[in-house]
Structure 1
């Protein structure tokens, strides 16, 4: 595993330390890894959503939606 040193203002350092004192994280490295994993998951979710939006935009003009026809078809 690689090592990375980061500089934080005192207020942020205190926050990280407080997150590790309550037992969820063993140390500040565990906390930072969790933040990075969450950020990666968020970025993937945003990319997935953007791809769906792009697909929708490139699929052509929207069609009129008939909710009654939809419900009838759903009941069948």
Structure 2
């Protein structure tokens, strides 16, 4: 796969490669694609949660009860 970039984007990508210790611009692009894929999974999970129905209020009591459930060994 070959990707053409305008000069300003190429300069930015080159700077990212240098400043973040990527071995090459290809490694940088692979990392961007991995992050985008992970973001897509998170976005889908959020949308699925929104479609699942009415939510509940998440206040201090909610988190106190949740912590108690997590910490109860039974």
TM-score where L is the length of structure 2? 0.69
The corresponding residue for 1:19 is 16
The corresponding residue for 1:9 is 6
Aligned residues: 62
The corresponding residue for 1:30 is 27
Q: Which runs of 4+ in 1 moved over 2 A?
A: none
For structure 1, list consecutive stretches of 5 or more residues without a partner in the other structure.
none
Output aligned runs, 1:1-76, within 5 Å. Answer: 4-56=1-53, 74=65
CA RMSD of aligned residues (A): 2.6
For structure 2, list consecutive stretches of 5 or more residues without a partner in the other structure.
69-74
Q: Distance in 1 between matches of 2:25 and 2:8?
A: 14
Which structure's CA Rg is the greater one?
1
The corresponding residue for 2:71 is none
Q: Distance in 2 between matches of 1:29 and 1:45?
A: 24
